[in-house]
Amino acid sequence: MVEPIYAIFEEREELMVSPTGGNPTLRIAHFLKPSVSSIDELPSPFLSAEPTISELENLPLKVHFKSWRRMDENWKMWVASLHSKYQSIWKKSGIYEAIMCSKYSICRHQDLILGLAEKWCPKTNTFIFSWGEATVTLEDMMALGGYSVLGDSVLSPLVTKEMEEIHEILLEANRRVSLSFTASQHKWLEHFMGSGSKLEHEAFLSYWLSKFVFPLCEYRIERQNFPIAILLARGTRIALAPAVLSSIYSDLGLLKEKLVASTKLDTEEVLNLSAPFQLVQLWAWERFPALRPSPISISQCEPRPARWSKLKKVSIENVRLAIDTAGESFQWRPYAIAANHNWLYPKFYEEKEQWVSVDAALDKELESFALCLRVCELLGLHCIQQYLPHRVAMQFGIDQDLPGHVARYNMSPGIAWSHYNRSIGDSKLYRPPRLFEADVTMRYFEWWKQSMSAQKDAIKNFVTRPRDSRRIPRVYSGKMENYNVFVPPSSFVECFKMDTVKETKLLGNLSEKRLAIDVKPLPVSVSQKMSHSTADDGAPKKDLLMILEAKDIQSEGFMGEAEKILTDVTVRKVEHPTNIVVHVKENDGKSSSYCKTEMPGLELEARISRLERAVAELKAARANN
C-alpha cells in the first residue's frame, strides 16, 4: 500500500458541479491529494480579513525590480556565438529553453504586478481573488521560463577535484575583473565574451545565472552561482524550476507585507526585489485576456515568451477592478490552448484522457508534469517555500475537492530537497484531456458558500476613490499574521465593490437568497455581467457603454432579508468604446458613480438581455409579495 503522502491522484465517483453553479452531475472525477471528505475535517477558513490598500498608485512605497532591466544586445550575440558548440550540453542539462527565453525583453507593467501582489496570501502561496484561488506553478516555470523541474538540487556540491579547481579559477577571475570584491556583469561579459578562454562556457553560464535566474544583486556576478554553472557546463541537469519559483514566492510574500505596512508609513520607503517578476507578469498575461496586449505570432522554434517580447502594456484605468471582475474570462489552462499553430504542445497535453504507467520507461515530460501536480517543498538558494498545487487543481485540468492540510518539511535544506525529490508513489499517472474543464465537488461548493457567508465583511473597497495626490489614509492597523483571508479556488462569485456599498454578500440565484448589496440588492452579479473579453487575436473588443440607473423601491422581507431595498434597474446603451459606468441612486436622492474603467465586454448585448430578464423576475417576485 502506497503511503498517502506519496500519492498524487485520487479517482472516485462524486457529485460534481461547475464552479459557477448549475445542476450537479454524478460522475467519475479525479483529484489531487491531499483532500478531505468533510468540511468538519478542515481548519477554520474564516481567517481575519485582508487589509485594503486604498490606492496602489499613490503608496509611499517605491518598488524596484532589480532583475527587470533593459536587454543587452551583447548578451544575444554571446548566446549566438556559443549556440552551435554547446547547444547539445544545454539540452542535456535542461537549460536550453531557459537560455533561449533570456533573449526576449518583457516590458514591465508595474501596476499589474502590484495589483497581483495585493492578492497574494503567503500562508498558501496563492493569489486570493474575489472569484477564486490561483497561483504561479512549476508548470509555469517550465512553460514561461524554460526551467527544468527534474535534476539535482541547486545546492549540490562539486564532486571532483577538477571542478574545484575550476571554481578557484572563476573566483580569481571574479577578483581580477573588478577592483571591488565582486565583478560587475558588464565587465565580466567584456572580459570573457569571444575570449577563447577554456572557461568561457562556465563564465557564460555564471553570467546567465546572475542576470536572469538568481539576480540577487543588481549588476553583479554572484559567486554562489559558480558551482551551478560548473555542473551545468558538464551536462548535469539541475532543477532550476523549484528554486526560481521559491524565490518568486518569497519576494511576493515580502512585497505583500510591505504593501500592507505602507498604509502606515509617513515617509517614502524603497523596496528592492530580486526575483524574476517577469515570469509573474507573463503568468498574468497568459491568463487575463483583458490585462494583456495582443500577442504576436511566433515561429515553431521560438519559446512561448517570444509572443510577448517588447509589447507595451495595455492602458487600464483601474487594475484592481479589472482583476476582480476577470473570473469569467480567466484562462485556467492557457498552455493547453494553441497560442498559434507553431507552438508545440508538451506530451502531457493530449486530446483524450489517459492513465500512464509509472515505471523506468516513464517519459521525462510526463514525469515533469507529475512533479507539477504534487505538494512539496521548493528549495531555493536562500529560502524554502511550500508548494500546494492541490489548492489550484483546475489549473491542471483536474477536478477540485476540499484541500487537505499539508505538513511542512522545511527543517533543513536536505530535508526539503528529499521531500521534493521523493519517488512518485502512484502506479499510474492520470493525464486529463487537453480541453477538459474541471468541476468542483458539491461539498466544496457548499464550503465555499459557507466561507463567503462568514466573510461577508472581509472583501470590500476594491473600487477605489478617484485618484488623489494627498496622503493615503491608513486602512489597516492589525498584526501582519492576520492579514490573509482564505478564499477557496472557484469561480463562484464576482464581488463588485464601490464606495456606497456598506456590506457585500455573495450572489447566487434567487432561490439561494443571497444579495450583492445590502441596501440595494441586485438579482445578478453586476461584475459577472461585465467581465472582460478579447477578440480572437487577443485584442480587446469594443462595446457599448452600459449605464445602470438605480431607483429606490421599498420592499419588506424580500428574499428573506428584512428591510432591504429592491432596486429597479433600467439599462440604456450609449455609444462609447470599451467603457462601463454604473450609477446608483442613494436613499437621499443623490446619485453616485462607482465604476468607470476600460472593460472590454464579452457578448455585451446578451448580458444586457439577461440583466433585463433578471430585473423582470425581481419585479414579479416583489409584486407577488
Q: What is the pLDDT of residues 259-316, one digit of tens each?
A: 988 877 777 889 999 999 999 999 999 999 999 999 998 887 889 999 999 999 998 8
pLDDT at site 184: 87
Q: What is the mean pLDDT of residues 157-186?
A: 87
**Are 309 and 294 within 8 A, CB to CB?**
no
How far apart are the C-alpha atoms of 399 and 617, rounded to whole Å? 33
Going by C-alpha positions, the residue among 525, 625, 505 that lies closest to residue 569 is 525
220 or 99, greater pLDDT: 99
How far apart are the C-alpha atoms of 53 and 58, rounded to whole Å? 10
- Residue 573: pLDDT over 50: no
- Residue 358: pLDDT over 60: yes
pLDDT at site 280: 98
How far apart are the C-alpha atoms of 609 and 447, rounded to whole Å? 31
First and final CA of the chain: distance in angstroms?
Answer: 60
- Residue 226: pLDDT over 90: yes
Banded pLDDT at 339 (limits 50, 70, 90): low
CB-based contacts of 214, cutoff 8 Å, min separation 6: 222, 224, 225, 243, 244, 247, 274, 381
pLDDT at site 486: 37
Q: What is the mean pLDDT of residues 318-328?
A: 89
pLDDT at site 196: 87
How far apart are the C-alpha atoms of 571 and 606, rounded to whole Å? 13
Average pLDDT, the chain: 75
342 or 588, greater pLDDT: 342
Q: What is the pLDDT of residues 486-507, one digit of tens each?
A: 344 333 333 333 333 333 333 3
C-alpha cell of residue 281: 507578469
Q: What is the mean pLDDT of residues 204-229?
A: 92
Q: Which helix (H) or strand (E) holds 321?
A: helix 319-324
Banded pLDDT at 357 (limits 50, 70, 90): confident
For residue 126, give the amino acid letter.
T
Q: What is the mean pLDDT of residues 557-583?
A: 37
Banded pLDDT at 128 (limits 50, 70, 90): confident
124 or 263, greater pLDDT: 124
pLDDT at site 138: 98
Distance of CA 158 to the CA centre of its chain: 35
- Residue 22: pLDDT over 50: yes
CA angle 475, 480, 484 (to 5 degrees): 80
Banded pLDDT at 617 (limits 50, 70, 90): low
Return the SS3 of 250. helix
**Are 215 and 66 within 8 A, CB to CB?**
yes
CB-based contacts of 70, cutoff 8 Å, min separation 6: 105
**Are 229 and 137 within 8 A, CB to CB?**
no
Banded pLDDT at 508 (limits 50, 70, 90): very low
Q: What is the mean pLDDT of residues 416-425?
A: 94
pLDDT at site 180: 60
Buried b / exposed e along 593-616 (16+ C-beta atoms within 10 A): ebbbbbbbbbebeebbeebeebbe
**Strand-pair partners of 121:** 126
pLDDT at site 610: 54
**Strand-pair partners of 547:** 572, 581
Given the C-alpha cell 507552438, which residue does it identify? 343
Q: What is the mean pLDDT of residues 171-194?
A: 84
Q: At what angle do helices 240-261 and 110-118 cross, to 10 degrees?
A: 80
pLDDT at site 499: 33
pLDDT at site 611: 64
CB-based contacts of 590, cutoff 8 Å, min separation 6: none
**Are 414 and 152 within 8 A, CB to CB?**
no
363 or 414, greater pLDDT: 414
Is the pTM here over 0.75, yes or no?
Answer: no
C-alpha cell of residue 395: 489549473
pLDDT at site 324: 87
- Residue 48: pLDDT over 50: no
**Are 274 and 216 within 8 A, CB to CB?**
yes
**Are 265 and 246 within 8 A, CB to CB?**
no
Q: Which helix (H) or strand (E) holds 60?
A: none
Q: For residue 160, report the phi and psi dihedrals to the nearest 5 degrees.
A: -125, 160
